[in-house]
Structure 1
Amino acid sequence: MSWQPYVDGNLIGTGKVAKAAIFGRDGSLWATSNNFSIGAAEVHTLIKAFEDTNDIQANGLYLEGKKYFYLRSGDNNSIYARLGASGVTCVPTNQAILIGQYAENMQAGDCTVVVEALGDYLRGQGY
């Protein structure tokens, strides 16, 4: 299965997500936008946070070497974090992790709706 069209069309293509990536639950990169570079250690910390948010609540969530402030967890163990006026929505599915970052000129809620909708779709397809 090619995952790049999901990043390009379903996430970035909406205009509601500035940067996006899809990882496997094992931390392997499946697809990413051209301008999004998340380190392996950052992904593994995020994977652990879906089970227990204590570490990112205390120390923040690092993506691209930047510290995001943990806001909350939502349905399906989704994680929401903020860096200034920008932020991320991180959504786990059965087999994948979706990360959508919104820029300062975007609305957090719009990004969340887009990333969560793709997560719901993928879960419905068994992913």
Structure 2
Amino acid sequence: MSWQSYIDDHLMADIDGCHLTAAAIVGHDGSVWAQSSNFLSMWVDLVLTVVRSICEPGAVIRGKKGSGGVTIKKTTLALIIGIYDEPMAPGQCNMVVEKIGDYLIEQGL
């Protein structure tokens, strides 16, 4: 499976009529492995700064602002980033991002 299919087929998939606004898989070095078409590259530097300073693999960072938010799961080699807005609920975003992150950790990635 290609990295882009993780984005297209899993992270951006429809869940109860909702889907993420944007998603990406980014290496710890900042290289983008795959991303949705509307993922802004400026988010990568911000996410890397936060995650590198406080997290070990397996950790999750969640943020919310207004009607949207973000979930970031750190794996052994990458960051799984999901950005959502209403009508998607925070828990739905968490479930999608963490499920892919847990799978990648199990695979040593």
Paired amino acid for 1:33: S
For residue 44 of structure 1, what is the amino acid of its counterpart?
L
2:73 corresponds to: 91
Partner of 2:22: 19
Indicate if the aligned counterparts of 2:58 and 2:105 stay in contact, CA closer than 8 A. no
In the TM superposition, residue 2 of structure 1 has moved relative to its aligned partner by 2.6
CA distance change for structure 1 residues 49 and 102 in 2, over 3 Å: closer, same or farther?
Answer: farther
For normalisation by structure 1, the TM-score amounts to: 0.74
State the Cα distance separating 1:43 from its structure 2 match: 3.5
1:123 aligns with 2:98: no
Match status 1:10 vs 2:26 = no
Shift of the alpha carbon at 1:48? 2.0
The Cα RMSD (Å) is 2.0
Query: In the TM superposition, what are the counterparts of 1:1-127 in structure 2 within 5 Å?
Result: 2-14=2-14, 15-39=18-42, 40-51=44-55, 76-127=58-109
> Secondary structure of 1:121's match?
helix
Counterparts of 2:107 and 2:63, CA distance in 1? 27
Query: How many pairs were matched up?
Result: 105
Question: 2:58–2:102: 8 Å Cα contact kept in structure 1?
Answer: no
Structure 2 unmatched ranges of 5 or more: none
Q: Is the 8 A contact 1:98 1:119 kept in 2?
A: yes
Secondary structure at the aligned position of 2:97 is classed as helix
Instruction: Structure 1 unaligned segments of length 5 or more: list them.
Output: 53-74
State the shift of 1:105 in Å: 1.4
**Contact 1:16/1:107 (8 A) holds in 2:** no
